[in-house]
C-alpha cells in the first residue's frame, strides 16, 4: 500500500497547488479546479486502489462465519456484481425493504459473514488511521457498472414509498438556517465559490450529481460513498447526524437515483 499512500500524497500536493492557483483565477467562474486536476492525472484515478482492495475483500472469507461476499445478492442474483449498481437502490424481498449499495453490503456482512452490525459500522468511513471496507467494496461494485445506463424504476410500492419520502425530505426545510436540500440543490446554475451545485430535482442535474459516486475526493485523498456525501450535506444543512443505512438516507438516495435514470454510470468518479 506504499504506492497508494505515495499517490495520495502526490494527489494532495497537486490539489493544494491547484487550489492556490484557482484563487487567482476566481475572475473566471467557469474554471473548475478538479477538471485541471483530472487533466493532469490523465486516465489515472487514485480510486483504482480502492477498486482493487474492494475486489480482494469481496472474495476473501471473513467474519465469524469465515465466508466471502461471493454469495451476496446485490439484486441480480447471488454473486452477480456486473451491472448491479446501475439498478440500485432496489427492493429486496429477503430484507423486506429498499436498500442502496452500502446498506446492502452491510446486510451481507451481517447475514452472510456474521459480522455484528455495530462492528461493521465502525469503519463506515475511512480516515487516516483506518481504511473503510465499505468505501473499497462500493468502489469495486460501482466500477463493475461503469458505462451502464442507470435504471432505477419505481416498480413496487416500497420503491414508490421510498421515493416519495426522499422527495419530501428534499424539500423539507429545517435546522437553525431553515435550509432544505432544495435551498442549495433546487435551482440550475447555483454555485458556492467554485463548486457547482447541481439541480438534483431534475434529470440533468441529478445525473451529474449521481453518476460519479462513489468518488475519489481529491481534497480528502479518500474514496467516498453516497452515504458519506449525504451525511456531509446534512452537516452543511445543520441537521442532526444522518445514520448510515437509515431509512432516511436510503429514501434520499432513491429520490436522487430515480431522478437520474438514463445516466451513463461513470463511478468511481473524481470530485473536489
Ligand atoms: C448549504 C448548502 C447545501 C445543502 C443545504 C445541501 N447541500 Fe448537498 N452539496 C453542497 C455542496 C457545497 C456540495 C459540493 C461539495 C463539494 O464539492 O465539496 C454538495 C454536494 C452534493 C451532492 C453531490 C453532487 C455532485 O455533483 O457530486 C449530492 C448528491 C448532494 N449534495 C445532496 C444533498 C442532499 C440530498 C441534501 C439534503 C439532505 C443536500 N445535499 C443539502 C451544499 C449543500
**pLDDT digit of tens for each residue in the chain (272 aa)?**
444 544 454 444 444 444 443 332 333 345 566 777 777 776 789 999 999 999 999 999 999 999 999 999 999 999 999 999 999 999 999 999 999 999 999 999 999 999 999 999 999 999 888 899 999 999 999 999 999 999 999 999 999 999 999 999 999 999 899 999 999 998 877 777 667 788 999 999 999 999 999 999 999 999 999 999 999 999 999 999 999 999 999 999 999 999 999 999 999 999 98
Rounded-to-10 torsion of CA 88, 91, 97, 102? -20
Rg (CA), the chain: 18
Question: 218: exposed, middle or buried (C-beta count within 10 Å: 0-12, 13-18, 19+)?
Answer: buried
pLDDT of residue 32: 64
pLDDT of residue 42: 67
pLDDT of residue 189: 75
pLDDT of residue 128: 81
Residue pair 230/251 in contact (Cβ under 8 Å)? The answer is no
Which residue's alpha carbon is at the smallest distance from atom 32 of ligand 1?
230
Alpha carbon distance 252, 255 (integer Å):
5
pLDDT of residue 9: 46
Query: Ligand 1 mean position to 44 CA, how many Å?
Result: 25
pLDDT of residue 188: 77
Taking the alpha carbons of 88, 92, 98, 99 in that order, is the dihedral positive or negative? negative
Ramachandran area for residue 91 (φ above 0: left; ψ -120 to 50: alpha; else beta): beta
Q: Could you confirm whether 233 is annotated as catalytic? A: yes
pLDDT of residue 22: 37
The b-or-e profile of 127-148 (16+ CB within 10 A means b, else e) is eeeebbbbbbbbbbbbbbbeeb
Ligand 1: does its nearest atom lie under 6 Å from the Cβ of 270? Answer: no
Ligand 1: does its nearest atom lie under 6 Å from the Cβ of 247? Answer: no
> Which residue has 474492494 as its cell numbers?
54
Alpha carbon distance 222, 210 (integer Å):
18
C-alpha distances out from residue 15 to 33, 66, 208, 258, Å = 8, 40, 22, 33
C-alpha distances out from residue 52 to 99, 141, 174, Å = 24, 11, 40
Alpha carbon distance 68, 115 (integer Å):
12
Ligand 1: does its nearest atom lie under 6 Å from the Cβ of 198? Answer: yes
Query: Ligand 1 mean position to 185 CA, how many Å?
Result: 7
Amino acid at each position: 500500500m506504499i504506492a497508494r499512500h505515495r499517490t495520495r500524497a502526490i494527489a494532495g500536493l497537486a490539489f493544494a497547488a491547484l487550489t492556490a492557483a484557482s484563487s487567482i483565477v476566481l475572475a473566471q467562474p467557469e474554471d473548475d479546479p478538479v477538471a485541471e486536476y483530472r487533466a493532469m492525472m490523465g486516465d489515472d484515478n487514485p480510486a483504482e486502489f480502492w477498486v482493487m482492495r474492494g475486489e480482494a475483500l469481496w472474495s476473501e472469507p471473513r467474519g465469524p462465519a469465515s465466508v466471502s461476499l461471493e454469495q451476496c445478492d446485490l439484486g441480480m442474483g447471488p454473486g452477480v456484481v456486473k451491472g448491479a449498481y446501475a439498478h440500485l437502490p432496489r427492493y429486496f424481498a429477503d430484507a423486506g425493504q429498499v436498500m442502496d449499495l452500502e446498506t446492502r453490503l452491510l446486510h451481507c456482512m451481517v447475514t452472510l459473514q456474521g459480522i455484528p452490525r455495530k462492528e461493521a459500522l465502525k469503519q463506515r468511513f475511512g480516515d487516516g488511521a483506518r481504511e473503510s471496507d465499505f468505501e473499497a467494496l462500493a468502489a469495486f461494485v460501482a466500477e463493475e457498472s461503469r458505462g451502464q445506463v442507470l435504471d432505477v424504476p419505481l416498480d413496487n410500492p416500497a420503491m414508490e414509498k421510498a421515493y416519495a419520502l426522499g422527495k419530501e425530505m428534499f424539500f423539507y426545510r429545517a435546522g437553525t438556517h431553515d435550509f432544505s436540500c432544495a435551498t442549495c440543490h433546487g435551482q440550475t446554475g447555483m454555485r458556492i465559490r467554485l463548486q457547482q451545485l447541481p439541480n438534483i430535482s431534475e434529470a440533468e442535474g441529478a445525473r451529474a450529481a449521481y453518476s460519479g459516486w462513489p468518488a475519489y475526493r481529491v481534497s480528502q485523498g479518500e474514496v467516498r460513498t453516497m452515504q458519506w456525501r449525504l451525511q456531509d450535506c446534512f452537516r452543511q444543512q445543520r441537521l442532526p447526524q444522518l445514520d448510515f443505512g437509515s431509512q432516511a438516507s436510503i429514501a434520499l438516495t432513491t429520490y436522487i437515483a430515480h431522478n437520474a435514470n438514463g445516466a451513463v454510470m461513470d463511478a468511481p468518479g473524481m470530485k473536489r
